[in-house]
Amino acid sequence: MLEIKEIWKTFNAGTVNEKQALRGVSLTLNEGDFCTVIGGNGAGKSTMLNAVAGTWAVDQGTISIGGTDVTHLPEHKRAAFIGRVFQDPMMGTAPTMQIIENLALAARRGQRRGLRWGLAKAEKDRYQELLSGLGLGLEDRLTSKVGLLSGGQRQALTLLMASLKKPKLLLLDEHTAALDPKTAAKVLELSDKIVAENHLTTMMVTHNMKDAIQHGNRLIMMYDGRIVIDVSGEEKKKLTVPQLLELFSKVSGSDEADDKLLLS
Amino acid sequence: MTVFLNALPGAVSQGLVWGIMAIGVYLTYKILDIADLTVDGSFCTGGAVFVMLFAGGANVWTAMLAALLAGMLAGLVSGLLNAACGIPAILCGILTQLGLYSVNMAIMDFKASVAINVTQADTLEKLLVSLRFVQGSVKGDFPLWRHPILVVGLFTACLIGVLYAFFGTELGSALRATGSNGNMARAQGINTDFCKVLGLMLSNGLVALSGALLCQYNGANEINVGRGAIVIGLAAVIIGDVLFSKLFRNFALKLLAVVIGAIIYYIVLQAVLAMGLNPNYLKLLSALVVAVFLSLPYWKGRYFAKPVKRGGAANA
């Protein structure tokens, strides 16, 4: 479903702040794969997700989604294939617009937007039903401005928006990192549910090793702009946090990784 | 006082005309979240295109349509400077506005002022609005329905209706999303660059249309007519917002609030003039008023913030 071939990205090339963020990353996800991505700060996790989403163009390499080469497509065109939830709860929704308007915008992802009504009457019931599925009471607040919602509510809504028009690929970029532990657990549970119900091919970046092991059927770890660990299937199911840490220090050739990963 | 009262219908008429420009400013400033300074130039462009075409014998509606299109073209230039050339939006407006001075001069045949011959009855008859209709329609020289308050009022009501419908469409929603959160808009497949350009075109089209109306009202277009238009527009938007934000939630009503804001601005202006202020101080006064109103929310948050009440909702 997703095929990344040898992508490279350098930020601020030629200056003292030069940073090789991605150094030849290749990754293939099959349809229905739920891949968790871990790694220390600056390992390239978010950079890889942004490369796929098209936030900027990669320097080298190709990216294709569902057989379509998207390497040279701008962000808004790639959106036809991709659902996204960001780390910052503010980023995924339009705060000055109503909950129902946000959903209506998401329902038209990948379509030409013309002079038809932006919100058809028939849509309302469907959204109400979907919102009540979140269990947050948002179904009674359809016309509330999204700016009034809490971070957790916004992430839940963004998740719903990302999956409303079934995407070929769902990108979750540390989408629970800004939430308190209880809310984070709830949003994560919701993510699992939505991914399973829609059989979405998913990539989830997380800082939490336990979450990375518990969720999904595949786990990759990044270090210094590369994928250094890639486990899936039975092997991943049996994985424990200490094992993962050991594996990592072996690959990266240092112990500093422990602190870096555990503290981050 | 009588001076002021006599000037009142004229002030309301002018406020209505400028209200259309203020709606244009509202679209960029409030909806797209861009401070677009193009309006200082495109306002005059609208008047210039109108006066030249009308003086050349064109139908009043044709001339107004041309003014609208010319304004949209100015918006397109600013939009492309921003979207295609990566220049910050505020600079794009300044550049276009400066360039438009020459363009406006060229349109007006390098004359600083071009007049419509309103002393000729049949020419005057063809105009949609004129200063002369304000008292003329009351005295009986013209039918009462020609009063600028009625004509421009109706015109504005139609415009608000069209805009209300447009911002309810998929495209209009995309425009609102672009201004609300560009990241979200792009993630939902909205071409935010296109939306910004479209918004700027729409805004400057309205501004130019307002310029064409003011040109008719004054019976002439002069090269400096748009100077400081952005400030008047902002004043109208802010006055409308301060007075009616609690009352008007609906989008159409918010646009109405902007128009009322413009009317209030002109009434206050007349009041100040009636008190004997030298008209040359008006621009300073406008700038001060807008500066104060723009500072109010900041001061309110900084110096008059209410302490947060304890014991809020448990699941906030």
Q: Which residues of B touch A101 (CB under 8 A)?
A: 173, 176
The total of structural domains in chain A comes to: 1
Give the mean pLDDT of A212-217: 92
Q: Which of A53, A90, A105 sits opposite B188 (nearest CB)?
A: A105
Contacts of A106 in chain B (CB under 8 A): 188
> What's the whole-model pTM score?
0.92
Q: According to the model, what pLDDT value does residue B114 have?
A: 96
- Judged by a CB distance cut-off of 8 A, whether residue A106 touches chain B is yes
Write down the mean pLDDT value for chain A: 91
Residues of chain B with pLDDT under 50: 311-316
**A150:B316 CB<8 A:** yes
Residue range(s) defining the domain that contains residue A213: 2-97+149-263
| Full domain range(s) for residue B119 | 2-303
Q: Is residue A136 part of a domain?
A: no
B95 in any annotated domain: yes
Chain B residues within 8 A of A79 when measuring between CB atoms: 186-190
What chain A residue is nearest to B33 in terms of C-alpha separation? A96
Q: Is residue A98 scored above 90 in pLDDT?
A: yes
Looking up residue B185, the CATH number of its domain turns out to be: 1.10.3470
Q: Judge whether A17 lies within some domain.
A: yes
Of residues A77, A118, A161, nearest to B170 (C-beta)? A118
Helices (H), B275-308: 282-303
Residue A130 lies in a domain: no
What pLDDT sits at residue A254?
A: 62
In a domain, residue B314? The reply is no
CATH of the domain at A224: 3.40.50.300
Domain count, chain B: 1
**pLDDT score recorded for residue B80:** 97
Look at residue B312 in the predicted model and tell me its pLDDT.
44
> Are the beta carbons of B170 and A101 separated by less than 8 Å?
no
pLDDT band at A260 (very low <50, low <70, confident <90, very high): low
Residue B308 lies in a domain: no
> Among partner residues B180, B185, B191, which is closest to A96 by beta-carbon distance?
B180
Is position B190 within any domain?
yes
CB proximity A154 to B under 8 Å: no
* Spatial separation of the C-alpha atoms in residues A47 and A25, rounded to whole Å: 11
What is the structure's pLDDT at B304?
75
What pLDDT score was predicted for residue A262?
56
Best-predicted range by mean pLDDT (A172-176, A208-212, B290-294): A172-176
Question: Residue B311: inside a domain, yes or no?
Answer: no
pLDDT category at A257 given cuts 50, 70, 90 is low
pLDDT at A6: 94
Q: How far away is chain B from the Cα of A121, in angstroms, using its nearest Cα?
A: 12
CB pairs under 8 A between A and B: 92
Position A238 scores a pLDDT of: 87
The minimum CA-CA distance between A55 and chain B, rounded to whole Å, is 9
